[in-house]
Amino acid sequence: MRTLKFAVLGILSLKPMNEEEIGQTISQDIGCFWSTKHIQVIPEINRLTKEGLITKNPDGYNITHKGSAELDQWLVKDQALDNTAKDIFSLRMYFSHRMDDERICELLQSQKIQHEAKQKFLQVILRQKYKSGHPSHEERGYYLLLKGSIEREDFYVNWLNECLDYIQEESKGQD
């Protein structure tokens, strides 16, 4: 399935955009829960144009009736749970018995700092974008996903703290 196809169609269902705006929306807004390589966006836009799902005009790209119909069909389908994402840090932790506790704690602390930074970044976006509190009907999906992304980062930071505590307690017991 070409998920990027539906990401672009969904973005253009919000408003007409040029290639740069589409790329920015994917990396900045959608990027908090789904990612793609920027280099894939332009070829996908070209495919969608050839398929008659979007059209190009002087202001950028518009979704066509055919594109809207395909997007609507895709949106209402139920989705099976995706495979677990490839997480290099988790893979390293799985084999952490091969590292000393000091190095494990360094890696955990580094991840904690990165996740705290991401959480703060997402909170800034939430505050800036929704100063008035409630999102518009068109923005509620993004609002809910942004809130979920913040919660996910909060959970992950708490889990990293638990890991640090566990490793440090275990190290004390070995002394």
pLDDT for position 39 = 84
pLDDT for position 44 = 94
53's tokens: 């799902």
Question: Count of H helices and E strands in the chain?
Answer: 7, 2
Amino acid found at 155:
F
pLDDT at 108 over 70: yes
Give the mean pLDDT of the chain.
91
Burial 74-105 (b: 16+ CB within 10 A, else e): beeeeeeeeeeeeeeeeeeeeeeeeeeeeebb
Interval 4-12 mean pLDDT: 94
- Is the entire prediction scored with pTM above 0.85? no
